[in-house]
Amino acid sequence: MIGIDLIRLDRIQRSMERFGDKLLQRYLSTEEISLIKNSKTAAGFWAAKEACSKALGTGIGKECSFHDITLSKTPKGAPVITLSKGLVQKYKIVDSSVSITHDGDYAIAVVAIETEK
């Protein structure tokens, strides 16, 4: 299953200016917040979580919350996506991967999820 999301950087920038840390806490864990360098990074993480929920076919909501999806980085800075135990069991997920990119005014993320056959 594949999901993709696109978000304007200024949307996250305005929200960060208006709501500060409350915005980040809404969709990121403390560990994820520590990786946020600026609104560009925050937008990429938002897009990745949205793309993941789309790959699952649920969207963000009751079945899959922002906090069921965790992002981290490898030592070289590549993003890594980890899903909650509940999601892994419910959807029989065996592997997942994420790619995040930025171009101009946008952050774009693609998530691929492999399930048991």
Whether 54 sits among the annotated catalytic residues: the reply is yes
Reduced to 3 states (helix: H, G, I; strand: E, B; else coil), residue 77 is: coil
**Closest-CA residue to 111 (of 16, 22, 67, 47):** 47
The catalytically annotated residue of 40, 54, 62, 73 is: 54
Whether 73 sits among the annotated catalytic residues: the reply is no
With residue 66 as reference, give the H or E element that holds it: none
The catalytically annotated residue of 62, 73, 92, 102 is: 102
Rg of the Cα trace of the chain? Answer: 14
Catalytic residue IDs: 54, 102
